Chains A and B, each alone.
Chain A
Amino acid sequence: MFKYLRLRPEPDRRDPLANIPITQLVGDASLPVTLKALNSLPENPKLRLYRTLLPLQVLAAFDINPRTWQNPEKQIQVRLQADEGSEKVKISAWFGQNPENEFFYLELADNPYGGIDLNFLIASDPHSPKFNTDFDEQGRETLFGTVHRNRAEEERAMHAGLAPGQTRAGLRCSQIIFTHVETFLTLLAHHALTLEPMTYASAWIFERRGFAYARGHQLMDIIHREFQPGGALHKALDGSSPFRQPEQWQTVRGRAWAIHDGILETIERKWDNLKMIKQVGRQAGVNTCPNTLF
């Protein structure tokens, strides 16, 4: 293909910031910048900043160039949605030809208190079997099993080792993702990231990532206590459904499926109103499920 290689002549030097108004970023560096402000930037500086949200190791694992977001075949594998006027940023990466085949999806949003919420985070292994827990038998979206449920598919997913809300096995890279998100928050001078854990299993993971609870720490303690032998939730694992088998109290995943199945009704509680917060640069060190395997 090549007869010989030669050194490329040095490229023309150009001021990279020429013609790019970055008025939103030239103010006091200690004041937080909202996503909405960031979204009002021209495309290129916006892209430069949001690029930091994607963990390099994750991209490398799928042969995606972190600068161009292309695979070796020069196909774009990453999509950024950060429209002007919007208070959100959505970033997704996929493997192969089909953008629906996401292995990474992250959605951040400005919240009404001047902070930033993590709305969604999905990091799943595209090579692992897919379970259609996101659509019920009639083809309706289940919204992670919150509105409708596909029980047969959920049961298969549970036996394959998945947690509720998952359609595929995880990529096991949440640590590195949060490092990137936190670095990004620091760049914007934000102090914290908040989220609502969708399941008991995800709350457990966020605890390990240094989150504390703004709401629901006591509920997590109660759940752990009641799943111990003699507790009300332990007793409610009576085999009355595939998601309420006696041994499930022993694992976070098992408990999460039972909670997904509505077992908290036994103690007149619901899985709602939980809010978790990660203060930038600080590990809260919460562990509401001591001596419990995932």
Chain B
Amino acid sequence: MSQRFQITRAAELESLQMFRDFIAECCAHHNIPNEIVFELKLAVDEACTNIIQHGYKGMDPGSIVLAFRIEPDRILVQITDFGHAFEPASAPAPDLNAALEDRELGGLGLFLIYQTMDNIDYQASQDGNTLTFTKYYRP
């Protein structure tokens, strides 16, 4: 059994809450553990924030399409946009052991996605940029 959900919203900060609420609502019907729901909300929020603040920078913002599929032991997430492509691998991971004064502002968003999600992949093309990740869970 698997079920697919999708929501498309404008790439603007006001949409972040809508994406999180949508995830919460869909997961509520499938008894997904709370901590998994939170991690999904976090990873999707970080990815979408990146698209809004960088992907569509200097453009009249277009859409973000959030799709996910809930399966019995995992959730597959796909986030599509049509802005500038970005490359997650090129962003340096933050140094968690650095002294407070040495810590860089930023860089944390992608780090949080990598810490909470599995099988992260990113494909950029003229037909849309797509970030996919998987979250495994025990029901």
Contacts and interface: CB of A to CB of B under 8 A. Distances in A.
Let me know if chains A and B touch directly in the complex, using CB atoms closer than 8 Å.
Answer: yes
A216 to B, nearest CB: 5
A214 B11 contact: no
Contact of A284 (B8, B11, B12, B127): B8
A113 interface: yes
Contact of B6 (A214, A218, A285): A285
A33 to B, nearest CB: 15
A215 B127 contact: no
Interface string B70-107: 00000000001011000000000000000000000000
Given A212-B65, A277-B82, A286-B63, A217 B128 contact: no
B100 to A, nearest CB: 37
Interface string A213-245: 111111111000000000000000000000000
A217 B80 CA distance: 14
Interface stretch (B35-43, B54-62, B110-118): B54-62
Contacts of B82: 212-215, 275, 277
Nearest to A207: B8
A275 B82 CA distance: 10
Contacts of A214: 62-63, 82-83
Nearest to B59: A215
B126 A114 contact: yes
A285 B10 contact: no
Nearest to A282: B65
A221 B59 contact: no
A113 B62 CA distance: 18
B78 to A, nearest CB: 10
A221 B10 contact: yes
Contacts of B125: 191
A248 interface: no
Tell me whether chain B's interface is mostly helix, strand or loop, or mixed. Answer: loop
Contact of A218 (B7, B61, B127): B61
B14 to A, nearest CB: 8
A273 B62 contact: no
Nearest to B52: A218
Given A218-B10, A285-B6, A285-B8, A192 B128 contact: yes
Nearest to A280: B127
Contacts of B6: 284-285
A89 B122 CA distance: 34
B61 A215 contact: yes
A284 B60 contact: no
Contacts of B60: 215-216, 218-219, 273-274
Contact of B62 (A114, A191, A215, A285): A215
Contact of B10 (A113, A191, A217, A273): A217
A279 B11 contact: no
A115 interface: yes
Contacts of A215: 59-62, 82
A268 to B, nearest CB: 13
B7 to A, nearest CB: 7
Contacts of B12: 218, 221
Nearest to B128: A279
A178 to B, nearest CB: 16
B127 A217 contact: no
A145 to B, nearest CB: 22
Contacts of A279: 80, 127-128
Most buried by B among A113, A274, A284: A284
Contacts of A219: 60
B63 to A, nearest CB: 4
Given A213-B10, A216-B60, A217-B11, 13 more contacts: A192-B128, A213-B63, A214-B82, A214-B83, A215-B59, A215-B60, A215-B61, A216-B61, A218-B11, A218-B12, A218-B60, A279-B80, A279-B128
CB-based closest 4 A-B pairs: A214-B82, A217-B10, A192-B127, A212-B63
